[in-house]
Amino acid sequence: MPPPILRIQWQYNTGRFGRAGCSRFTIESKRMPMTLLGASEKGEKKAGLFDRLRQAVASTKAQLVERIEQIVEGREAIDRQVLDDLEAVLIGADLGVKTTTEILDHLRNQVDRRQIRDPQQLRSALEREILAILEKPAASAAARQQPPAGQPEVIFAVGVNGVGKTTSIAKLANFYLQQGRRPLLCAADTFRAAAIEQLEVWARRLGVEIVKQKAGADPSAVLFDGLAAARRHHADPVIVDTAGRLHTKYNLMAELEKMCRIAGREVAGAPHQVFLVIDATTGQNGLQQARQFLEHAGATGIILAKLDGTAKGGVVVAIARELGLPIQFVGVGEKLDDLLPFNPREFVASLFEA
Ligand SMILES: Nc1nc2c(ncn2[C@@H]2O[C@H](COP(=O)(O)OP(=O)(O)O)[C@@H](O)[C@H]2O)c(=O)[nH]1
Ligand SMILES: [Mg+2]
């Protein structure tokens, strides 16, 4: 039987935990986060973020965890049929064939060694498997090179058209603003005038500086200007929008490589971060497209946009395993604060908690 749900409401009018009236938030969790006991602002914010992650993965949870519960219900042994059904569920939730096969091999192994016997244990065994896959690339993220003192951190966003690059850049700028930094946006997707205008609208809304040129300009020239402006105005980080048109793939990749060279010549170690933006709603197809970028752009991490409203959130696991890159942020909507730092444990908890 699942552990009972603990339901807490903080009442701002009385300053106590309780059930009635005037609450601003509700937390439901098997484990009560310690920070909430003091109801500090930090705790409130954290609970809010977790709640939003939970909302964003609701469809994936229905597709994955709730189906597993249906499979194991009433079964007495972990037989071939149970494992075949589990395999179908994992593929249906877009974990991909390779990742699914690896997970099933591990589970079969545990069944053979009688480490798991009861079908009811499959759920938590799967939770452990997914967490291990997600935590693996996260461990390597710390090795990133830092910019020299007094120089801006340079961050590129790359990925196919329409995946959510420009929107994610605006959200990232908002994230860094909240950390007390002064981001500068660089409109180096010069392929379409609309792309420059879109970034300008965000910059105005955020009140941050933007460096741009006319549509059709050399993206590397815009980048060069952006870095110079950042140095002059002590802005940091410089967040660079890039084009993502796949039909002129060769030019695009050559352009990206040139931008990386220019950045590195101007600021040691730049680009310090290259976020590959992937659209979660495209599932395995998105993963395929992402691979093509990786060959040329050398990404350091993933932003998974549009996790809200997709049942294909299982692609998170395939991305972590097959690209070997940490997922650093997930997009959960179109607003500025709809970007959540990705934490493997929280992600798994949001999917598997009762
Ligand atoms: N629901 C949702 N929509 C998003 C998210 N991120 C981006 N979008 C939408 O996806 C569309 C394409 O985004 P855009 O940033 O222009 O993509 P780009 O071509 O890669 O720069 C826009 O309509 C965005 O509002 C997200 O996390 N959730
Ligand atoms: Mg764009």
DSSP code of residue 10: E
The tens place of each residue's pLDDT in the chain, 354 residues long, gives 444 443 333 333 333 333 333 333 333 333 333 333 345 677 777 778 899 999 999 999 999 999 999 999 989 999 999 999 999 999 999 999 999 999 999 999 999 999 999 999 999 999 999 999 999 886 555 556 789 999 999 999 999 889 999 999 999 999 999 999 999 999 999 988 899 999 999 999 999 999 999 999 999 999 999 999 999 999 999 999 998 876 556 777 888 889 999 999 999 999 999 999 999 999 888 888 888 778 766 789 999 999 997 988 999 999 999 998 999 999 999 999 999 999 999 999 999 988
Three-class secondary structure assignment of 152-215: CCEEEEECCCCCCHHHHHHHHHHHHHHCCCECEEEEECCCCHHHHHHHHHHHHHHCCEEECCCC
Of the listed ligands, the closest to the CA of 165 is: 1
Residue having the nearest C-alpha atom to atom 26 of ligand 1: 306
Q: How far is the CA of 129 from the centre of ligand 2 (A)?
A: 35
In this predicted structure, what is the pLDDT of residue 177? 98
pLDDT at site 21: 32
Contact status, residue 210 vs residue 200, Cβ threshold 8 Å = yes
The CATH class, in words, for 1-7+23-34+49-354 is alpha beta
Between CA 131 and CA 341 the distance in angstroms is 16
Q: How far is the CA of 168 from the centre of ligand 2 (A)?
A: 9
Assigned token pair, 292: 């093509």
Q: Is the CB of 306 under 6 A from ligand 1?
A: yes
Ligand 1 contact, 334 CB (< 6 A): yes
Task: Yes or no: say if 215 and 193 are a contact pair by the CB < 8 Å rule.
Answer: yes
Q: Which atom of ligand 1 is nearest to the CA of 163?
A: 20
Strand partners, 184: 209, 238
- 190/225 Cα distance (integer angstroms): 14
DSSP-derived pairing of the beta strands 327-331 and 273-279: unpaired
The pTM assigned to this predicted structure is 0.85
Residue 162 CA: nearest ligand 1 atom is 19
303 in Cβ contact with 329 (< 8 Å): yes
Q: Is 272 in the pocket of ligand 1 (CB under 6 A)?
A: no
Q: What is the pLDDT of residue 228?
A: 97
